Amino acid sequence: MTKVRVGLIGLGRFGRLHAEVLTSLPEVELVTVCDVRPEVLTEMATEFGVPIHVSDYEVLLTGTAALDAVLIATPDPAHAPMAKLALERGLHVFVEKPLATSHHEASILARTAREVGRHLQVGFVLRYEPRHAYLKEQIRAGRLGHLATLRLKRHVPQAWFHIYGRTVHPMLESTIHDIDLCVWYIGTPCQRVYAVDRSFLGLDGPDTSLAMLEFEGGTVAVVDASWLLPAGAPQTTPELGGTIDASLEIVGTEATARLDFLNPSLSVWTREGTAYPELSLWPHLMGSVRGALREEVADFIHSVRTGQASTIASVDEAVTGLAIVEAIQLSAHEQRPVQLTEVMGQLPFNRRATDATTS
């Protein structure tokens, strides 16, 4: 295979970042792009020199162009149906997180990928971020000893709640990254979850969620999510329009590790305020998008070219993460501990289909 022929579905903020990465990789040919907004579609196709652009993803996936792989960067509810059709078409699939909006859907996708013999990778970009990857290597080498506790925090702006939070639980939107880190770092099955949701803004759905996850072997992780950061918080991700206040602490029997996203060495003071540019995830440097986003897409392309599964990404762990999210939602709703076996293999629990609110 000379170049991997890729189609890109979804041209929002993340879709644009992916388009920049794909067109900068020498082993990739971005053949076609897809978006439901005609003006965005035409603009992006022209900007990136893409020969084919369509507004219907089914047209893209059923023969408009000869493709090897597709990258999906659409709103969350579209991930599962698009990925399933792409796999059935015989394409390799990269899909932004989360893989689906339920464990049940994700399980079907993982099974379909195995049946058709295609790579299915989920965009958990923190696995490719140098600091998080370094911690994984330290854990794998045994330098932290047995992991006792993990504490993970991810707070995002109130403004994001109005965009995402009305329809997506905090643990499914941004904090799915932290749940994935727990699964990746700890490496044993999650057995039980206890969670609490709160709605301090008085809007539909929780704006705050805290969960305790118990893993086989005794490791306990505490995950803290909220959508309450004020507009004046330091800007870390201007391309996403806000701040990510994230931190991680791992306590092992041999060592303790801490990582704080809001403790950078670079700050920029302007008339509008202070910014702490985040330069490890997807910075624009030297004319293209660099960082972890480029590394994860390059890893996917390598799998497509070589036929070798990624040693970093894991679709099975992505499926597990969604089971944990559903257990968190069920626990918060029913105010009790939930065993993972209660949600594994069951239809998804949908808190928004109930009439109860925890506040």
| Interacting residues of 182 by C-beta distance below 8 A, sequence separation 6+ | 150, 152, 190, 213, 215, 221, 223, 324
**pLDDT score at 285:** 85
**CATH superfamily entry for domain 127-278:** Dihydrodipicolinate Reductase; domain 2 (3.30.360.10)
Domain chopping of the chain, boundaries = 4-126+288-312, 127-278
Per-residue pLDDT of the chain (359 residues; tens, 9 = 90+): 689 999 999 999 899 999 999 999 999 999 999 999 999 999 999 999 999 999 999 999 987 578 999 999 999 999 999 999 999 999 999 999 999 999 999 999 999 999 999 999 999 999 999 999 999 999 999 999 999 999 999 999 888 777 765 668 999 988 999 999 999 999 999 999 999 999 998 877 899 999 999 999 999 999 999 999 988 887 777 666 678 899 999 999 999 999 998 776 788 888 877 777 778 888 888 888 899 999 999 999 999 999 999 999 999 999 999 999 999 999 999 999 999 999 986 555 554 433 333 32
**Distance (Å) of CA 330 to CA 5, 23, 46, 238, 283:** 42, 42, 46, 34, 37
**pLDDT score at 278:** 79
Q: Which residue has the tokens 């959508």?
A: 227
**pLDDT score at 2:** 84
| pTM of the entire predicted model | 0.92
Pairing of the two strands 190-198 and 208-215: antiparallel
Task: Say which CATH class 4-126+288-312 falls into.
Answer: alpha beta
The answer to whether the CB of 161 falls within 8 A of the CB of 309 is no
| Interacting residues of 150 by C-beta distance below 8 A, sequence separation 6+ | 181, 182, 185, 186, 219, 220, 221, 222, 248, 249, 250, 251
- Strand (E) or helix (H) holding 229: strand 220-229
**pLDDT score at 101:** 93
Radius of gyration of the chain (CA): 20
Equal fold, 4-126+288-312 vs 127-278: no
Distance between CA 131 and CA 319 in Å, rounded? 24
**Distance (Å) of CA 120 to CA 96, 106, 150, 170, 316:** 11, 11, 28, 24, 10
Distance between CA 134 and CA 146 in Å, rounded? 17
